[in-house]
Amino acid sequence: MSINSKSNQKQLNWKVKVQKFGGVMSAMVMPNIGAFIAWGLITSFFIPTGWIPNEYLAGVISPSIIYMLPLLIAYTGGTNIYGGRRGGVIGAIATMGIIVGSDQPMLAGAMLMGALGAWGMKKIDNLFKGKVKPGLEMLVDNFSLGIYGAVLMLAGYIAIGPIFSTLTAMITKGVDWLTQMNLLPFTAILVAPAQVLFLNNAINHGIMVPIGIQQVMEAGRSIMFLVEANVGTWLGLILAFCIYGKGAAKRSAPAAAGILFFGGIGEVVFPYALMKPAVVLGPMLSNIASLFLLQLLHGGTVGAVSPGSFPALLMMTPKGAFAANIAACALATTISFLVVAFILKRDKSPEESKVTTAVPVMTAVTSDAVYERKVKEGIEKVTIVCDAGMGSSAMGLSILKTKCSKAMLDLTINNVSVDHVPQDADIIITNKVLEERVREKLRNEPLLLTIENFLDNNEWDRIVGTIKKYSV
């Protein structure tokens, strides 16, 4: 293997590891976004500076952030690590200790304890597997969970909770220092490239949301929710592609712009940046400028802006911050558009090269010969995979169902997150960026198709053509 090949492989392994870690964190929060929105809405209405201040109704705000949200995260994380209710229950038990042992919201702590509790429970169950006499299974299951849960709860209360409380306080002070020194906006230098690598959910829900909620408890709003989720930073980029893009990129850009603005699905825009990495400079600079403006005008939201759409931004904006948030979004859109337009106008590459970047790479996990023998009876199940299983894959599901219906293909088509790739699918479709993570999950021999642009009809037509090839 050449030195370049080894270097590329190391970079790929690093990227996959970062994606996996981020995916684990975001997978605990994403299913509970509705609960975060509910908490944010109640906060925006009933806190002393809210739309309808009400001391009695505001009484549910603090208990919800202290107990409900961490326990939901822990239960979800436990279920993800050790499938089923057992993993979720031990995750919630483990987290209760750090909740009581701390004087701050334990959202980050819930991610750790939920996963740790479920991982340990899985190991303990494996020790007893096949060694319990018939009739004693329920007794052993209940007492092993109870004893292990009691130990974790006490450990969280005595040691882990106070440690996390100290760490959370240190992080909060660090963010306050960055804000006071006007350095917080420069986090966009790291955030924009990470988004292109499909780490947007991990950054927003794994890092920014816990810090933001802590600030909301103290100040009634936080700009941390807008470090990653300012729709304007990527809206400007895609609008520039609408006017100055080439080939398939230009044709599909208007649809992507609409989906981003109203639906908040950033995954439909990131592939455009992958086509020409230099354009990431647009979202980067625009986010820096918008964060400076948010600091100056005291903008921010009361909860996670998820999905990252303009309507969601308005819904999470508290009284007195509409002008600041809308101005920051408009500024981000303008700067991003101007920077990306400048880069695209100077692009002298032929149109054909832009078109070919949107051609899907289709590779079978096994050889075509092996796969053709496997599917002699026809394809029945197709699965579309994205990072969280809620954005681009859901959109792809709708597109593929429509095209398969027109092609008279009777298939079961579903969408999942990359952490829940099924083993019974005949064909799996995913974004090129997530290919290696999906491959790691596969134990059987499906046909793995990768796609770069979920809005390019040519790519979906090719995929339908491949499905038809193996369906006859």
- Do residues 97 and 156 make contact, with C-beta atoms less than 8 angstroms apart? yes
Helix (H) and strand (E) counts for the chain?
22, 5
CA distance 340 to 245: 10
Closest among 319, 290, 287 to 302, alpha carbons compared: 319
386 flagged as catalytic:
yes
Q: Say which of 242, 329, 386, 404 is annotated catalytic.
A: 386
Residue 457 burial (CB count, 10 A)? 14
Kind of pairing between the strands at 447-451 and 427-431: parallel
| Nearest-5° Cα angle at 416, 411 to 421 | 90
Characterize 168-204 residue by residue with b for buried, 16 or more Cβ atoms within 10 angstroms of its Cβ, and e for exposed.
beeebeebeeebeeeebbebbeebbebbbbbbbbbbb
Secondary structure (3-state) at 454: coil
Residue 38 CB partners (closer than 8 Å, separation 6+): none
CA distance 53 to 302: 14
CA distance 202 to 18: 10
CA distance 215 to 222: 6
What is the separation of C-alpha 448 from the centre of its chain, rounded to a whole number of angstroms? 22
Catalytic residues: 386
